[in-house]
Every structure is written in C-alpha cells, then in structure tokens.
Structure 1
Amino acid sequence: MKRIVHFAFVVFLIISVSKIAKAQFSWPNNAKAAVVFTYDDGLDCHLDVAVSQLDEFGFKGTFYCTGNSQSLYNRTDDWRKISQNGHELGNHTLFHPCSGEQFDWVKPEYDLNKYTMEQLLAELKTASTLLKAIDGKENRTFAYTCSNVAIGDNEFSDDIQPLFTAARADGPIPKTMEGYNVYKIPSWMVEDHKTEDLIAYVEEAKANGTIAVFMFHSVGGGYLNVGAKEHRELLQYLNEHRDEFYVGTFLEVMEYIKENL
C-alpha cells in the first residue's frame, strides 16, 4: 500500500513540475517579463517627445501610422530617420476605419462595419506599400484600429495573418504565455494615467512572467494623452531595472515569442 501511495505521489510531482515548466516562458538574458511601447496614429508628438525620450534611455518603440497621417505626410524624412535608428513603423490602415456602431465619431465612409473583407485587405496591403516606400522593410506588424477585430460579426484576425508577423488588439496582461495568440495581442490603452499606474502595469507582467504592451496615443498633450513626465519616468524606471525586463519593438518581441513558444 505504501508503495502505491509513494508511486502516486511521484506521478503527481512529475505532472505538477511538467505543468509549471510548460507555463513558464524564457525571456532573453533571464529577464522576468517583456515590455513593448506602441504609439498609434502617427503624431508629431511621437517624433518630438516619445522618440527623444526613448532614445535617451536606449529603448525602441513601435509607431502605428495611418496612411492619412498629416505628420507622416509633412515629416516623411523624420519618420524614415527614426526607422533607420531602430524604431518600428507599423501598419494602422490608411483611413483608420472603426465600428460606427461602437463609436459615434466615425464617419460613414470609414465605418468598418460597412467594409467588405476584400476592401479591408486591399487597404492594409496599400498601407504596407506606403510604409515600405518610407522604411524599405517588408516584415510588418499591425494594430487593429479601435481594437476592432471584426467586420460586424465576422472576425478577420485569421484573414490578416498572411500580411503580418503579428497584430495588436487590447486586453489584460496574460497570466501565462501558454496559448498566446500573436494575432490578437492584448494591450493597455493609456489615458492620463499616473507614473505609479504605468509602473504597476509592468510589475504585473513581471509577477506573471509574461508581457506588458502599452498602447499610447498622444504623449505630452493631446487626445488619449500620457504626460511627458509620466512617460519619461516609466522609461527611467525600466532603465533602472534593465535586468528584469526585456524591452523591444513589437516586431522584435513577437518574432522572439513565435520562435520560442
């Protein structure tokens, strides 16, 4: 009887250890979590504030530019330069279509629910062509506009996979990397949050051993804003804890995850 109990206990330990090992994920340089900075809509403040602060600490960000961004048109050379300096330019469509049912500010011609799948895919391909003309790169990631992953009831996260390495949506920090879907990456939209909130977010990812993806819009003033002070203090915190966090562009981190899951 004792042998049976002992055998059952050993089997239980083996299964438990196996589950723990499977749930763990190994980040580069023994980091405890990954952190990704993403910025939406291609704004002047990204070039003037966000990039300068990122570069100050040696971090790189991902900038999801819409094709009709005035900043992208007026300051094309500046966007090209930050790409050459290691920052990523990501696809955020041409016209930023969103669900008119969900957001009342959406113009009828840019109501995502009125798009056909063929129209959406054509827009995404054209947006990538525009970005390639700026940075010369072919591997591209995507950020769902307004985090809408469906046209009406038809989800298109599978349809875009041939076009992109990965895609960012929204949602809570994952508890585990097991089953992580790189075409529906959860992220947190920051709006007027304090430094301690931003730090708490990366600390939650560290506690889980997973990943924190920030979704920023305006930096230092504007809509869906994060203060320049708060943004810089977050970067400073991560700089002081470099051994704990793996910080990279969205493309870089997603490629690493896909290779190591």
Structure 2
Amino acid sequence: MTCLKTIAALLLFTCLTTITAAQNNQPWKGKKCAVVLTYDDGLDIDIVNVLPALDSLGLKGTFYIANYQGRLQSQLPAWRKAAANGHELGNHTLFHPCEGGRAGREFVTADYDLNNYSMRRITNEIKAMNAVLSAIDGKTNRTFAFPCGDNKVHDTAYIDSLRNDFTGARGVVGTIPAIDKIDLYNLPGYGAVNNSGESMIEWVKEAQAKQGLLVIIFHGVGGGHDLNVSLSAHSQLLHYLKQHEKDIWIAPMVDVASFVRDNQKKRP
C-alpha cells in the first residue's frame, strides 16, 4: 500500500510539474498571445455599434477618445458607463493634431497641423485630455494613442516628456512582437480598413503562432468613418476571439501594457 501511495504521489507531482511547465511556456497569463481591440477618435458609432457588440460577448476594448468632432459632451453618460463596465478610455489628444502638407492629409487644417504646434502646446493638450478623462472615469492609469501615428513635434518625440502620465503609447506599426521585444511607448497597431473577418482572424492566428501581442486599430465599424470595417467582419472577429479565450488574452491596452511592464522589470 505504501508503495502504491508513493507511485501515486510521484505521478501527481509529474502531472503538476508538466502543467506548470506548459503554463510557463504561455507568456500571456498562461495564454498563447494577447489581443487588444482599440477604437479611435471617440465616434458615435462606438457607442451605437461597438460597445453593444463587445458587451454581448463579455469582451473589453480600449477607446482612444478625442473631441475634434465636438461630440464628447453628449457622449459623457455612455463613456462613463463603458468605463464602469471595464472598458478603457484612452487619450487621443483633445483635437487630434496630425502632420499636414502631404498626400492623404488633406483633412488636416492649419489650426491642428502638428507642424504648427510647439512642445508646450501638444503636452498641454494631452494633459488637459487626461484631466477630462479622469473626470469621466475617475482613473489616472491609462494609455495614449498617437493621432495618425505622428509622434514628433518637428524633430522631437513628444511622448518622452509624458512617460510618467501613461503606462504606454500606441503607434501604427503593424507588427506582432514577443513580450520581451515590446516598446511600451511605441506599441504596435494593425489598422483595420475594409478588412474581412477572415483576414483579421489570420492576424490573430499569427499572434497565436508567434506568442506575441496583436493590437488592432478600428475607426468606423459599420460606418461612421472613412476608415471602416463592416459590422459582419467585426462580429466574425469578436466571435472567433470569444471562442478561443482559453488561448488568447483579450484585454484593454492599459492592462496589457501594465503586464508587459511588470514582465520586463523581472528580466535581467
């Protein structure tokens, strides 16, 4: 009997050791990869189409809010509810300044052309938006997204003076980095524009294979912006993510960035 107990104990130990080793090989909270769903500009379509779709599946996203359309005041109750429900309200500046004067940037007006900004103006605008967002959700820990992916005023990277204000900052480079290769102040982002559900799911499968971080950037979902994906494509992606939650960590950017920071601090 003693021999049988010893054998059983050894088998249990081996099983637990195998499970622990397998989990240690899953770098994202015991899962293969991390996926962050981000939605830019604080559009009405986020409230009408996106939040109900996410909430119906229990998924959480990050909404990078700006007020260049002048819609924020009317949206306040919806954003406050979204934050209380676990979604992140991210900073996308007050007025979404981008570099003008080149092809595809005809929408940039002189008033909000980043070429006409000073460092003081852009940092003040970003800090003011942080104050607005904090008044909505009561939080101080959040992330930032560079409007149009432009991260400099003239030749100076403006995020350098704001690192203490944000856990991370998202750019627009479409890569899937491993956890130890992530730059928290130039986080990746795949822009979704007229993509099918299948093509976005392929990004997710690549992230699973690479055990990396996938960040998807949405604007319009079922309308609301020139950079748009259909409701059906968006829904197909969300349902795939939900069906594979055991392998995929789907979380707001602030949670993922905090996890990456803690992980990188532990490394030699």
Q: Which position in structure 1 is the counterpart of 2:28?
A: 27
Q: Within the alignment, does 1:205 sit opposite 2:207 as a pair?
A: yes
Q: Distance in 2 between matches of 1:57 and 1:113?
A: 42
Q: Which position in structure 2 is the counterpart of 1:19?
A: none
Measure how far apart 1:69 and its partner are: 4.2
* Aligned-partner residue type, residue 188 of structure 1: Y
Q: Within the alignment, does 1:245 sit opposite 2:248 as a pair?
A: yes
Q: Distance in 1 between matches of 2:75 and 2:142?
A: 21
Q: Within the alignment, does 1:190 sit opposite 2:192 as a pair?
A: yes
Match for residue 169 of structure 2 among 148, 167, 170: 167
Q: Structure 1 residue runs of 4+, over 6 Å off? A: none
Render the CA deviation track for 1:49-106: whole Å, top value 9, x for unaligned: 1111111111001101103443322121111111111111010101110001342221
For structure 2, the 5+ residue unaligned runs are: 1-24
* Aligned-partner residue type, residue 181 of structure 1: D
* Aligned-partner residue type, residue 247 of structure 1: I
- Range moving further from structure 2, 100-109 or 242-251: 100-109
Render the CA deviation track for 1:133-162: whole Å, top value 9, x for unaligned: 111111121000000011122222322212
Q: Which position in structure 2 is the counterpart of 1:88?
A: 88
Q: Distance in 2 between matches of 1:191 and 1:218?
A: 9
Q: Which position in structure 2 is the counterpart of 1:106?
A: 108
Q: Which position in structure 2 is the counterpart of 1:140?
A: 142
- Range moving further from structure 2, 193-202 or 168-177: 168-177
Q: Which position in structure 2 is the counterpart of 1:66?
A: 66
Q: Distance in 2 between matches of 1:174 and 1:237?
A: 18
8 Å CA contact 1:173, 1:205 repeated in 2: no
* Aligned-partner residue type, residue 27 of structure 1: W
For structure 1, the 5+ residue unaligned runs are: 1-23
Measure how far apart 1:173 and its partner are: 2.0
Q: Distance in 1 between matches of 2:101 and 2:168?
A: 26
Q: Distance in 1 between matches of 2:61 and 2:71?
A: 17
RMSD: 1.4
* Aligned-partner residue type, residue 234 of structure 2: H
Q: Within the alignment, does 1:154 sit opposite 2:148 as a pair?
A: no
Q: Which position in structure 1 is the counterpart of 2:131?
A: 129
Q: Which position in structure 2 is the counterpart of 1:256?
A: 259
Measure how far apart 1:251 and its partner are: 0.4
Q: Which position in structure 1 is the counterpart of 2:78?
A: 78
* TM-score when normalising by structure 1: 0.87
Render the CA deviation track for 1:22-74: whole Å, top value 9, x for unaligned: xx77111x211000000001111101111111111110011011034433221
Partner SS state of residue 160, structure 1: helix
* TM-score when normalising by structure 2: 0.85
